[in-house]
Amino acid sequence: MMWLCVLLLFLSISSSLLPFCASQGIIAPGKYISANQPIISASGTFALGFFSMRNSTPRYYLGIWYNKIQKKTIVWVANRESPTDSLGTFALGVDGNLVVLDATKKIVWSSNVKVADSAINNTTGMLMDNGNLVLRSDEAVLWQSFDHPSDTFLPGMKLGYNRKTNQRRQLTSWTDAEDPQPGMFSFGIGMTGGPQFLIWKDNDPYSRSDVYSNSVSFAKISKLRPFAYYLTLNLKDDDIYVTYSASENSAILRVTLVPDGRIELLLWQEINNDWLSMWQWPSIYCEFYAQCSPFSSCDPKGSQDHCKCLPGFQPKVQQEWDMRNWTGGTCVRQKALRCDKYDGFLKLVNMKLPDHSYILGNMSTNDCESRCLRNCSCTAYAYLNASDGTSGKCLNWYGDLMDLVQDLVGSDLHIRLHDRDPVGNVNVKFTRKNKRSIIIAVAAVSIGLLCVLSGYFIWRKSIGKQERIEETCTGMNTSIELGKSETELNIFSFSQIVAVTNDFCEENKLGEGGFGPVYKGNLMNQEVAIKRLSKKSEQGIEEFMNELKLIAKLQHTNLVRLLGCCVEGEEKMLVYEYLRNRSLDKFLFDPYEKANLDWSKRFRIIEGIAQGLLYIHKYSRLKVIHRDLKASNILLDEAMNPKISDFGMARMFGSDQTEADTKRVVGTYGYISPEYALYGKFSEKSDVFSFGVLLLELVTGKRNIEFFGAELPRTLQGWAWELWNDDRGLDLIDPSIRDTSECPERALKCIHVGLLCVQESPVDRPTMPLVVLMLSNDNASLPSPEEPAFSSIQRRKPSNVVSSSSDHNTLSSYSNNELTITLPDAR
């Protein structure tokens, strides 16, 4: 954050801005420039012409430079990627575009915009006094160089991106000081999470600023600005950008991304006839990206020990930490989160906010806190006040907290911790609030009689539901027929479950889902996973009964096996085989664990999931549609073989049934097919769509939900489709396996199959038998996919969406780390 303070402090000394045109700065039809014939802007501030940087092997470029200083300083280059071997020509082409021609009159660069037939002979090129080269037709601007920056940020230029057009405006460094061709560094506004300034090295983060989600957070860096400069961050509509303007009669200053990856603030000194570097970023250890491990912060004032674990965390391997291996020495929680009433937040002041934020929108600080607390995957939140007195912006973080820095002008970050014990000298603030006694008393007096009557009928209803569950479980114990054999479903007592889980102690807890917590135990001389229905989940009871009826009748090597159940009083539990390697998402989306998922394992997982779906769709005694296929519902055994789990939302089909309607759409954002989400129609092709998304996740290593919380205008399948169409399929492969993949052709085929599965029309999607054939047959000819469904992100919640939790105004019911929703009356 300090880098922008320094930048703004010196922005009062820069070149003048007089944005009007003059005849000497114009390229008109029939006119051109070549050799040493530059055109000059009206006030003489900038010049445009050809230049060469290397005398030994001359390469010629068309560029813009400062005209009033002796040292030629280039601020923009047209043909960076296509220099000419000899002096060329700059003119208006026959199609009305600005073009650079080589000695043979071949076009090596063009403004490349569509010019109307009526305007082809009426376009004009003009060099403005702010250094912007524009192509005009009458008064309309058809193209401008400010939309295509080189390595220099000039006043009036906008850096950022447009969500609607997907246009990005960012600086790109030169290869070196003598070569204007694009280098390995770029600078602009990040497009994931809240707006932040980023320097990328080969598309990977190299340095990052704080997050600026509103005018207040941005004002923290601009409040020290001198009166001569005005910096603006625009977050409205679809255009996200930063720009600045200058007063007149200022000294000459420029902001440049230099070839070694630093942003420099340079002041022209007439006395020395050279540029003076006033400031650089990044320049200290903590300004480089993720110098410390997740859940640790970087201290810029630390002399040797730059990194330290956050309060409530400790090094996973102390020896690594002692050796100052801060990127490899992970910080882990001292006490695991339970997602219960003992979870709370610890406020860390003046922090550079972590990377990968999710903006939840405008709300009060209490609502922001509650939203994070209700989501078991939320690890931190921040609340940034608005300047106009309205509700501020709420930011949430899920998973690891990356690139944290202690910053003197930072923001307050609230990290999620467990237990009431003090952390250091600060106590955790708990946010489970007591009910207001006055409201309860008034409500009790006014509707007391109604409550008594309602309570009686609810009690009778719960007794009936309890009896039905017990009958279902008991009946299965004696009458489950699977093919030619008969399989018993074991019934366990509550006391047995308590004994094997050590009274549901935290050490035996495996995780938490939308259904409820899952515990590890030992029954029948084998390890088991015990799924305990949350007492607060009314929907969970329906899922419990559904899963009990369905999965006990399904037997396949790629389906998780149900061993028994427990129904006593209000306690309802399902007992499964225990799978030591947990769920797929724990490996696939963890930067450290994914190293255990090489390509051969990933392809075996893809094949196993496909075989499991093929079985429930075609070969099981019951035809079943899963309806909630995702990475967190794929469990892995010791050999990393996949098993599909969680059939609580599954539905049975008749043998000749192809489609069904429902008024209650359930599933997980990003995995639901369009016909299901919009019209309540589901079929085998709904599962095929979910499989396609999961297949793309396995190949790319990217979590689908990341795109839904980001500022990107594309979904995972939209991003994959875009790169696939650009013949950049190899760029989609997870970098952790890209260079070690034994068979990139097979990975590309999987991407191809995934894109076929996520097509908008169910008719166009393949069936699971065809998917299995395409995956297993290396010589199979695949059709070209159409554009995927939901290739762009709809950021507003549909009006008919309600969550599966008790809060029907927010999307807050999560299955593991992904959002599971219910859409009532989808038709």
Q: Is residue 459 in a domain? A: yes
Decide if 277 is inside a domain.
yes
Q: Mark whether 398 and 482 lie in a shared domain.
A: no
Determine the pLDDT at residue 306.
81
Q: Is residue 436 a part of any domain in this protein? A: no
**Mean pLDDT computed over every residue of the chain:** 77
When comparing pLDDT for 133 and 679, which is higher? 133
Q: How far apart are CA 626 and CA 718, in angstroms?
A: 24
pLDDT-derived band of residue 134, with 50, 70 and 90 as boundaries?
very high
The pLDDT of 223-234, averaged and rounded, is 52
Size of the chain in residues: 827
Q: Measuring CA to CA, which residue among 362, 669, 365 is closest to residue 514?
A: 669
Note the pLDDT of residue 596: 85
Residue carrying the six token digits 């700059």: 90
Residues 663 and 800 in one domain: yes
Q: How crowded is residue 388: how many other Cβ atoms within 10 Å of its Cβ?
A: 8
Name the amino acid, one letter, at 788: P
Residue 447 has pLDDT above 70, yes or no: no
Query: Of 234, 268, 283, which residue sits at a domain end?
Result: 283
Residue 775 pLDDT exceeds 70: yes
Is the pLDDT at 98 greater than 90? The verdict is: yes
pLDDT in tens, 80-90: 999 998 888 99
| CATH number, position 522 | 3.30.200.20
Same domain, 557 and 607: no
From the list 772, 778, 721, the residue with the least C-alpha distance to 751 is 721
- For residue 267, pLDDT over 90 is answered with no
In a shared domain, residues 598 and 554:
no
In sequence order, what DSSP letters do the residues of 713-740 get, joined into one string?
SB-HHHHHHHHHHTT-GGGGS-HHHHTT
Are the C-beta atoms of 648 and 572 separated by less than 8 Å?
A: no
Domain membership of residue 435 (yes or no) is no
| Predicted TM-score (pTM) of this structure | 0.53
The single-letter DSSP state of residue 61 is E
* 24 is a domain residue: yes
CB-CB neighbours of 794 under 10 Å = 9
Return the pLDDT at 542.
Answer: 62
| Whole-number pLDDT of residue 792 | 60
Q: Same structural domain for residues 211 and 323?
A: no
Residue 672 located in a structural domain = yes
Query: What was the pLDDT predicted at 329?
Result: 66
Range of the domain at 551: 441-577
**Count of domains in the chain?**
5
Burial group, residue 424, by CB count within 10 angstroms (0-12, 13-18, 19+): exposed
* Closest residue by Cα to residue 14 from 279, 170, 243, 245: 245
> What is the C-alpha to C-alpha distance for residues 409 and 92, in angstroms, rounded to an integer?
50
Q: Point out the domain boundary residue: 148, 167, 192.
A: 148
Residue 644, domain CATH = 1.10.510.10
Q: How far apart are CA 667 and CA 659, in angstroms?
A: 17
> Which pLDDT score, from 0 to 100, does residue 794 have?
47
Return the bridge partners of 624, or none.
Answer: 652
38 and 91 housed in the same domain: yes
pLDDT higher than 50, residue 256 = yes
Select the more confidently predicted residue: 462 or 304.
304
What residues act catalytically? 628
pLDDT over threshold 80, residue 587: yes
546 shares its domain with 691: no
pLDDT greater than 70 at residue 472? no
Mean pLDDT of 637-644: 92
Among 577, 596, 626, where does a domain finish? 577
End-to-end CA distance of the chain: 49
Q: How far apart are CA 806 and CA 808, in angstroms?
A: 6
Q: How would you class 8 by CB atoms within 10 Å of its CB: exposed for 0-12, middle for 13-18, buried for 19 or more? A: buried
Q: Which residue has the tokens 């000081």?
A: 177
Label residue 198 by pLDDT band (50, 70, 90).
very high
Residue 99 belongs to a domain with what CATH number? 2.90.10.10
> Quick one: 571 and 710 in the same domain?
no
Does position 416 have pLDDT exceeding 90, yes or no? Answer: yes
Question: Would you give the DSSP letter of residue 618?
Answer: I
* Band (135; pLDDT cuts 50, 70, 90): very high
Longest C-alpha distance within the chain, in Å?
Answer: 97
Q: Do 186 and 131 belong together in one domain?
A: no
- Say yes or no: 404 and 299 in one domain: yes
Residue 485 inside a domain? The answer is yes
Q: What is the pLDDT of residue 641?
A: 93
> Which carries the bigger pLDDT value, residue 131 or residue 14?
131
User: Residue 681 and residue 823: Cα distance in Å, rounded?
Assistant: 12
pLDDT higher than 50, residue 332 = yes
Position 352 in a domain? yes
Same domain, 356 and 309: yes
- Answer yes or no: do 175 and 103 share one domain: no
Between 475 and 166, name the one with better pLDDT.
Answer: 166
Region 228-249: mean pLDDT is 70
pLDDT of residue 390: 57
Cβ(264)–Cβ(277) below 8 Å: yes
